[in-house]
Chains A and B, each alone.
Chain A
């Protein structure tokens, strides 16, 4: 199949939205476009699986390359492996859910849906790029709309948060760019420097260059995925963003970072990955534990989920840092799982907020009585977050734990035990939040007037829950999907060449 369709579709949808007139037309177009995206990504998944089943063992499928800017040897080179397909599925699910929960967007709806679709364009482009420059290009495409989404449609101290988020992500991008440029100037293929991911992966980047540029690339992408101590944009950014933007931010945007850490930093600079692994693990473990404890003290539902995202994304980085096949597979699973779960969480919080006009845990109470559906969604998201079997979080976390334990060094063992311990803290903060806001007596007489979810909200929740449950009950399909990709990365990592 032609992967460029994944870019064309959001682009056309975004243009069509601009031509639309009034909320009804605009949201219809947005739903249609995002629905087609979901169908297209499912079709990609089917096609991909069929190719693999037919015995196609090439590393990337559906590759396509066209020169873009010859003097610098920049190409529009795209292709997917299982990891990218998994991320594309995630993106499509979150985008359509995001459109559905924004169904009654009052202000500037045209611009809102336009930016949302534009964001999905950036994400798809990022996940299919095999050229580091186009990859970077799409990374940038996915930053600017967030600034606008938070700054215009946000709540609370939105200007501050929007600025903070944009500056920190831009800072991350700058670091990423230094890393990519470093790679570029240290490659030589037929006398030319190259941005091509596949080509760079086949040649040995000099160790010194790796040591120098790995931190740039890893920290740069790491900022996107809430690497401690650069995670502080997450709580403010998420809590000020409108619901759909929070969903996109936590569900997809943070995954761009994890994907970059894995695909660019770790894959292309394997020696440096081994050298820096202990530091990655240290920071990841801090993020997991410290994020979990910080979550425990939050009183705003959005802050709770944002801080818990710091903790959960720490698992992604931990899985990558452990550098075993199982742990890296687990990291990819965690990206997908957390993306779905956190989007669901933000959707539920958004539904609660739009009715009760508060997100403070102590002001809420007994919502299960008045809105059973939304409350159930909240509880399901919470149970997924605390790693209940049957939901995706369990599968991902256990895979990471199993993979991490394969490292027998004491430091790594301690890190794994601390990561395991965080699931207890997760249970504490999830149950505190749910126990107070969902269960318990109704705290406010006005709550009796509230209505349960509308059809669009139900639809959004069902899409995300289906994903979570599909992974939770039958994880083997996701495992089979991503294993060839992680296998390739592992082979590359085990060929450590120049370590002295």
Chain B
């Protein structure tokens, strides 16, 4: 038992809240459910802050390097003598950082929901699901075993299914939750097969041992996995790429991103939790967790880089055309996660070369604050105007001063304007890309400009644009439980950039020099300012200009607006190919051919018995005839054939 054993409480408290509220909440607590869930989460947050403090500043560091600490680990299911699923807790820089992020954002969402979800019929269920989700996410973060992470991965998937489908009597919400679950499940198939491949060659499921074996080029396991190949690609690359597919599914990377925009059907605070800071970064976390192995396999890392960079750009382009404010945020999340992914992709393991890894984790950290702030702000707006569409908004700055101010901070942060949080992390990412891959760097630069543009398009459309709309509906800006998280997150979006992540979370545990360079920053900040000015010019007041530009862009605008027809493509594959070409024939064959054969067998039997039952007629003359015939037949047989 280690001094860190108390860290087990961090996931267990939300689990306890889930069980309590799930079983008894509706009947016995109802209104109190929110308080119960929030209290559990508060305790959990305090403990993770304590853990982080102890780990980062007291005893996590030995000889200048942060150690991996495993306070507990139990065998859960033994497969063979040395392959087993263990349940344990791992503390290292990334997991401790994630603990803080997940519990903190979850706490904010819990508090915000006290006001936002007040009066909902299934209030207790909502908090139960929030607890389940938080538990699963924390379990995922703390996993010591690749199968343990897979299990919590699936649990995260199902709790997000439950939360997205919270408004279960709304068909669109049900469809969205199904879509999210099935798309990520499909991606998880890759993850599962990847695990099978790695586990088969590495002969272990334990992260630590697995990484040890697959990074030392002398080990038999390493030789085994690199010498085996399929289609000219080594099994190591296959395994890692398949695992990355799982990560890409959860992190909404192209082409598995299609579930994310639809997932906005869930209650808005849920989006702030799941689609900003926690579930969607699970893929990034997974790659980071296995990063030492990824780092020795250039091809797999190349896949990560390309997918990340492409997703970042694609999502930014689509985001410029969407009119549903939550969907804009969804695409922006996809774009920002693309940044984190390619930052990992361009990184190396250890030393100064490991800048990308640190930058990716840094961006994960800062993004969590400003993106959940944006979602919660959007939630407050939707709460006010009862619509997700930009056209129903405008001029809200008068009615919602706090939301307006915090939303502005978040927009500046995501656009990378100094000294807001996003600036620092984005600079590090751009720097890392600049040093290793110029194409990615250009894509990233372009995307940052677009980001500033579409975020301010959103901002101006909500808070400026039209004059003096009438939106007063009695409840004003919302309760204090809604405003307080906005203020806290606003403060963090302003300050999180000053957290010395480069000293704390690096690929090899050793501190890294922060490399903010003013000369280097001119281009990205300049582009961001240009994007903001363009948005200001086009959207500050309602006018015809955006429409004219859209028309002049013609087909390209339409394609982007229709999300490049990805949904139609998927619909075609699922409906036309899987259902009509595989499912229907399978059902038909079963009913008519396979079962038909069985029925035919029965009919033949019946037919034969019908034929021969006449033999037993009870007529003595008939029997005498058969007897005579039989004797003759036998006689012929014996005399002529068998002599």
Contact = CB atoms under 8 A, between A and B. Distances in A.
A297 B181 CA distance: 19
B526 to A, nearest CB: 46
B155 interface: yes
Q: Which of A298, A424, A439 has the most CB of B within 10 A?
A: A439
A439 B189 contact: no
Given A232-B594, A366-B169, A405-B196, A326 B185 contact: no
Interface string B151-189: 110110010000001001111001101100110011001
Contacts of B177: 435
B21 to A, nearest CB: 14
Contacts of B154: 387-389, 394
A485 interface: no
A439 B182 CA distance: 16
Interface stretch (B31-39, B580-588, B619-627): B580-588
A40 B80 CA distance: 32
A440 B357 CA distance: 44
Given A232-B590, A296-B583, A325-B80, A423 B168 contact: no
Interface stretch (A13-21, A243-251, A254-262, A396-404): A396-404
A431 B181 contact: yes
Contacts of A405: 196, 199-200
Given A389-B155, A394-B151, A297 B583 contact: yes
Contact of A293 (B168, B178, B583): B583
A402 B76 contact: no
Interface in B589-615: 590, 594-595, 597-598, 602
B78 interface: yes
A479 B80 CA distance: 11
A474 B75 CA distance: 10
A476 interface: yes
B597 A229 contact: yes
Contacts of A293: 582-583, 586-587
B135 to A, nearest CB: 11
A5 interface: no
B196 A401 contact: yes
A416 to B, nearest CB: 7
Interface in A433-463: 435, 438-442
A461 to B, nearest CB: 13
B189 A424 contact: yes
A389 B189 CA distance: 14
Given A421-B189, A427-B181, A476 B168 contact: no
Contact-residue bracket for chain A: 35 or more
A326 B199 CA distance: 14
Q: Could you tell me the dominant secondary structure of chain B's interface residues?
A: helix
A286 to B, nearest CB: 10
B178 A435 contact: yes
B196 A168 contact: no
A442 to B, nearest CB: 7
A417 B193 contact: yes
A229 B591 CA distance: 12
A326 B169 contact: no
Interface string A143-179: 0000000000000000000001001100000000000
A298 B186 CA distance: 21
A98 B186 CA distance: 35
A403 B169 contact: no
A369 B192 CA distance: 35
A297 B587 contact: yes
A298 B169 contact: no
Contact of A297 (B75, B178, B584): B584
Interface in B384-400: none
Interface string A309-339: 0000000000000000110000000000000
Interface of A: 164, 167-168, 228-233, 235, 290, 293-294, 296-298, 307, 325-326, 366, 368-369, 372, 383, 386-390, 394-395, 398-399, 401-403, 405-406, 408, 416-417, 420-421, 423-424, 427-428, 431-432, 435, 438-442, 474-476, 479
Given A389-B152, A420-B193, 20 more contacts: A164-B598, A228-B594, A229-B594, A293-B583, A294-B587, A294-B590, A296-B579, A296-B583, A297-B587, A325-B80, A369-B169, A387-B154, A388-B154, A389-B154, A401-B192, A431-B182, A432-B178, A435-B174, A441-B171, A475-B77
27 contacts: A164-B602, A168-B598, A232-B590, A232-B594, A235-B590, A290-B590, A307-B590, A389-B152, A390-B151, A394-B154, A402-B79, A402-B83, A402-B196, A402-B199, A403-B79, A405-B200, A408-B200, A424-B182, A427-B182, A431-B178, A431-B181, A438-B168, A440-B169, A440-B174, A441-B171, A475-B76, A475-B77
